Chain A
Amino acid sequence: AQSVTQPDARVTVSEGASLQLRCKYSYSGTPYLFWYVQYQRQGLQLLLKYYSGDPVVQGVNGFEAEFSKSDSSFHLRKASVHWSDSAVYFCAASGSNYQLIWGSGTKLIIKP
């Protein structure tokens, strides 16, 4: 069955430190992969997406993600986090019937 797993429910990093949020997928074929961010009491917004080509994709606000077919992963990274990056981050993969398969989300907490 197709699935997306975000193994870390919560990640805490210091402001200015680097960040990696993990995402693993299980999908037959090559999926479309997405990272979305949800700020408090808001809807989700797209950070970046990947389908093919360069496995490292750039997104908004300095975020990037790297696709690994061998590892079935699509981890999100940022070189230096800011307090405004505090949010919940969701990884998703395209499924059949134009549905997205969602991970359970990772809450990012930034320490001053």
Chain B
Amino acid sequence: EAAVTQSPRNKVAVTGGKVTLSCNQTNNHNNMYWYRQDTGHGLRLIHYSYGAGSTEKGDIPDGYKASRPSQENFSLILELATPSQTSVYFCASGGGVNTEVFFGKGTRLTVV
């Protein structure tokens, strides 16, 4: 069964600290995505990737970096975390434009 695993599931970080959110997929999908979900905004795309070594900016990339070292792994990096980045982050993978996108269970990040 298709699986997307995010770690950690919960994280408390201090303002100005570095945060790395990890995502692993066993679907062998080329495309991977990082979203954040906030009340009133639905899902907003931060970064995405077409395959190992590629990262692309989504709709709200400022303050975030992404890394795709392999087909399976896609990380989201907050170099200098701010309280405005407190949110729930979802990783997802997909095979193509008309195929299902599979989501992880989310990471709840609180920046204090």
- A residues apposed to B, CB below 8 Å: 32, 34, 41-46, 49, 51, 90, 94, 97-100, 102-105
Contact = CB atoms under 8 A, between A and B. Distances in A.
A94 B90 CA distance: 18
Interface string B71-112: 000000000000000000010101011101101111000000
Report whether over half of chain B's contact residues are helix, strand or loop; otherwise say mixed. strand
Nearest to B50: A98
Task: Give the size category of B's interface with A.
Answer: 20 to 34
A46 B48 contact: no
B106 A41 contact: yes
Contacts of B31: 98
B4 interface: yes
Given A44-B90, A90-B43, A104-B42, A98 B104 contact: no
Contacts of B43: 44, 90, 102
A81 B4 CA distance: 29
Given A98-B31, A104-B41, A51 B100 contact: no
Given A44-B90, A46-B101, A102-B42, 5 more contacts: A32-B97, A49-B98, A90-B43, A98-B50, A98-B97
Contacts of A104: 40-42
A42 B92 CA distance: 13
B97 A94 contact: yes
Contacts of A102: 42-43
Contacts of A49: 98, 100
Report whether over half of chain A's contact residues are helix, strand or loop; otherwise say mixed. mixed
B58 interface: yes
10 contacts: A32-B98, A34-B100, A41-B106, A43-B90, A44-B101, A49-B98, A51-B98, A97-B56, A98-B31, A104-B41
B45 interface: yes
A43 B104 contact: yes
Contacts of B42: 90, 102-105
A65 to B, nearest CB: 15
